[in-house]
Structure 1
Amino acid sequence: MDVTVRELDGMAEWTGAAALYREVFGYTEPEWGLSPRLLAALGENAGTVIGAFTGDGTLTGFCYGFTGVEAGELYHYSQAAVVKAGFQGAGLGRLLKYAQAAAARRTGARTMRWTFDPYALRNAHFNFAVLGATGIRFLPDFYREPGTDRVLVSWELTDAAPEGSRGRTGHGGESILVAAGERCAAPDPQDRAWLRQQLLTRFATGGRLVGVARPEGDPGRVAYLFEDEA
């Protein structure tokens, strides 16, 4: 696929990115919208506003983020990345993430963070097996609504380039095994409640999530693979 990934510029492109964001997530309520003016401000203030265009100029992917600080550590926070229906699964998400990493390095950040739904297996595979990120914190009901549990991941930017990908399948010292469907872990409510408590406990005791994978010969379950914090 002929794709160009670059920073977005101008109200037309920022507005197009905001529209794509709503389209991909299916948002219709005004409060779920994304302001093009916010994207303009981010682009001028150490944020990232990056798009992926096909050869005919169609915007097919978009990501944005901003600079954050915790305990004196500068990092880049990737708020969202979306890919247009019909183009998903073609590697555009990976290209967007690497472009965002390159932009983040220019701000002085050494790591990039974002959150993801820990029960969504495709997202887990992308974060750990493709990018090599590490889950550093469990955030129950992150958006202050039931069903919005998230894991915060951190991605080292030193080698974050397509040719230097260091994806991980997870070689943790401990694992949490749970039933899983095709797309999500613990679809049964009782299993989900159990898994949620296990994740809370493991992160609270210093664990770092390094992979989510199906055990060989056991397609009906997944293992959450942990390492202890160094």
Structure 2
Amino acid sequence: MQVLVRELDGIAEWTAAGALYREVFGYTEPGWGLNPRLLAALRENGGTVTGAIGEDGELVGFCYGFTGIEAGEIYHYSQAAAVRASARGAGIGRSLKYAQAATARRTGARTMRWAFDPYALRNAHFNLAVLGATGIRFLPDFYGAAGTDRVLVSWDLTEDAPARRAGRRSVVVAAADESFAAADPQDRLWLRHELVRQFAAGRRLVGVTRQAGGAARVTYLFEERP
């Protein structure tokens, strides 16, 4: 699929982005919407409002973010990325992230952060293996509700990013299918505890891989913090 990836501009495009956001994530309640005026403010004030536009002019992908700071480090926080179901598998998510990173560099950010569901295996593979981001923090019930655990990742945007070392610690858990790890409630509780423990020990999550040979197991790889 051929798409044009660029910053969105104007009320029509910002409104289309909000509609796509609701469609992809299945949001129906008014409180879960995305105000086009917020997107306008973000774009004008160091944020990103990036879209992927198909050959027919239809918006098929969208991501947005804003500038953040912690302990003096300026980073770009990518709040959400959405790709229409019919357009998935064409590398649009990756193109959106790279375009977002290019905009973030122009604001002075040297890293980009976002949070993802650590039990969703495809997301974990994309974030850690495809993009090369690193999990730096575990955020239990991040959105204030049960079932919203997240891992915060940091993605180095500089050309001299340090080489990744092999995982120094392994956490192995059941994975009933290719979509999610620890589907059983007891397995999920155990894995959650292990994630808390590994990050509390100062380690970083660098990979989530399924074991070879068809075994229904998945390995979370950690390395010591530099």
Under a length normalisation based on structure 1, what TM-score does the superposition of the two structures give? 0.95
Letter of the 1:214 counterpart: R
Residue number in structure 2 paired with 1:101? 101
Letter of the 2:24 counterpart: V
Aligned residue runs from structure 1 range 31-180, under 5 A: 31-159=31-159, 171-180=166-175
Q: Residues 164-205 of structure 1, C-alpha deviation per residue, up to 9 Å, x if partnerless?
A: 9x997x820111000002210000000000000000000000
Shift of residue 217, structure 1, vs aligned partner:
2.1
Runs (4+) of structure 1 exceeding 6 A deviation are none
Shift of residue 56, structure 1, vs aligned partner:
1.3
Shift of residue 215, structure 1, vs aligned partner:
1.9
8 Å contact kept, 1:131–1:167: no
Aligned-partner Cα distance in 2 for 1:167–1:99: 23
Shift of residue 144, structure 1, vs aligned partner:
1.1
Which consecutive residues of structure 2, in runs of 5 or more, have no partner in the other structure? none
Letter of the 2:85 counterpart: A
CA RMSD in angstroms comes to 1.7
When residues 134 and 205 of structure 1 are mapped into structure 2, their CA distance, relative to the original with a 3 A threshold, is same
Shift of residue 124, structure 1, vs aligned partner:
0.2
Q: Is the partner of 1:172 in helix, strand or coil?
A: coil
Higher mean C-alpha displacement, 212-221 vs 59-68: 212-221
Residue number in structure 2 paired with 1:27? 27
Letter of the 2:167 counterpart: G
Q: Is the partner of 2:50 in helix, strand or coil?
A: strand
Q: Is the partner of 2:13 in helix, strand or coil?
A: helix
Residue number in structure 2 paired with 1:224? 220
Letter of the 1:172 counterpart: G
Aligned-partner Cα distance in 2 for 1:174–1:102: 33
Q: Residues 15-42 of structure 1, C-alpha deviation per residue, up to 9 Å, x if partnerless?
A: 0000000000010000000000000000
Identity of aligned residues (%): 71
Q: Is the partner of 2:132 in helix, strand or coil?
A: coil
Q: Is the partner of 2:211 in helix, strand or coil?
A: coil
Residue 202 of structure 2 is aligned to residue 206 of structure 1: yes
Letter of the 1:56 counterpart: D
8 Å contact kept, 1:130–1:167: no
When residues 84 and 171 of structure 1 are mapped into structure 2, their CA distance, relative to the original with a 3 A threshold, is same
Which consecutive residues of structure 1, in runs of 5 or more, have no partner in the other structure? none
Under a length normalisation based on structure 2, what TM-score does the superposition of the two structures give? 0.96
